[in-house]
Amino acid sequence: MPTPDPRSVVHQILADYRQMAARHHVALKEHCDAEGVMDGEFDDYQETRRVTALESDEKLETFIRLLSDAFGLPDDRPVTVLGADNVQFQVTPGRLDATARAAFTQGQCHAFARAVAETTGWPIVVLADRECADDYDSCGMGNAVADGLCICQLSHLAAVRPDDGYLIDADGAHDPQNVGPEERFDIVPMSPALWKLVDTHPTWRDADMPVARSMVDPLLDLLGEPTGTQNAQVAA
């Protein structure tokens, strides 16, 4: 896929934003008098504000994605990566250090596994707890189950290196025979249904693919595997 021209991307974002801002201005002004004071039904005004705010949020996400694709992420300063339990990790893109490993094993393992699979074509598996957590209120409910597994059983995602079957995550390569020394986990291939569950259930974070992708070459280089761009840094 060709790299988008950054100048064109910025100009398109500016044009889209101005168009949206103009529509929102007109919509809100319909609830105001000539002096700009709200004189209509307050509930109607609040609903219009809610709708415009939702559209603004969606547009912002799109703009950030377009800018990231056009310019890439900064490699000279950290960006925030959201992990499990709302922990925020300050991760420098392309630097596979202890913080990055923590972020992509503690809440963003699904992003890292996907990024590795994109580069290598390797399959992805999930380490599934054999029993549900006792304190999970919706365990067994319809939208929390896929392929016979409850969302609370999905513990960790990893890619599988075909040559030896080792599990590959941000911490490196792991012999599947050593996973779960107390036989706590089953290793289950990811399916479209399980991916949908991970992607839509609120207990899992949105996959931070831009940062995850920047970590793949450093890991593959560390493992002695062929890499793509070779433009990132491995750090202890």
Average pLDDT for runs of 10 along the chain of length 236: 83 96 93 78 90 96 91 93 95 97 97 97 94 61 82 94 95 86 80 95 93 96 75 52
Q: pTM of the predicted model, to two decimals?
A: 0.82
- Say what the pLDDT of residue 121 is: 96
- Same domain for 65 and 90, yes or no, is no
138, part of any domain: yes
215, part of any domain: yes
- Same domain for 165 and 228, yes or no, is yes
- Same domain for 105 and 217, yes or no, is yes
> Mapping DSSP to helix (H, G, I), strand (E, B) and coil, where does residue 6 land?
helix
Between CA 107 and CA 122 the distance in angstroms is 21
- Output b/e per residue, 1-14; b: 16+ Cβ within 10 A: eeeeeeeebeeebe
- Say what the pLDDT of residue 230 is: 42
- Same domain for 59 and 117, yes or no, is no
Give the range of the structural domain holding residue 114, as residue numbers without chain letter: 79-234
Q: How far is CA 167 from CA 76, 163, 171, in A?
A: 30, 11, 10
- Say what the pLDDT of residue 229 is: 46
Between CA 166 and CA 36 the distance in angstroms is 65
163, part of any domain: yes
Between CA 94 and CA 72 the distance in angstroms is 11
Residue pair 106/161 in contact (Cβ under 8 Å)? The answer is no
39, part of any domain: yes
52, part of any domain: yes
- Say what the pLDDT of residue 137 is: 54
**What's the token pair of residue 157?**
């995602």
Domain limit, last residue, from 71, 96, 116: 71
What single-letter amino acid sits at 34?
A: A
- Same domain for 214 and 165, yes or no, is yes
1, part of any domain: no
- Same domain for 165 and 190, yes or no, is yes
- Same domain for 90 and 63, yes or no, is no
Domain limit, last residue, from 46, 71, 96: 71
- Same domain for 137 and 32, yes or no, is no
Between CA 208 and CA 96 the distance in angstroms is 15
- Same domain for 58 and 171, yes or no, is no
Structural domain count of the chain: 2
> Mapping DSSP to helix (H, G, I), strand (E, B) and coil, where does residue 184 land?
coil
142, part of any domain: yes
Residue pair 108/212 in contact (Cβ under 8 Å)? The answer is yes
Between CA 80 and CA 208 the distance in angstroms is 10
Domain limit, last residue, from 71, 98, 126: 71
Between CA 2 and CA 117 the distance in angstroms is 21
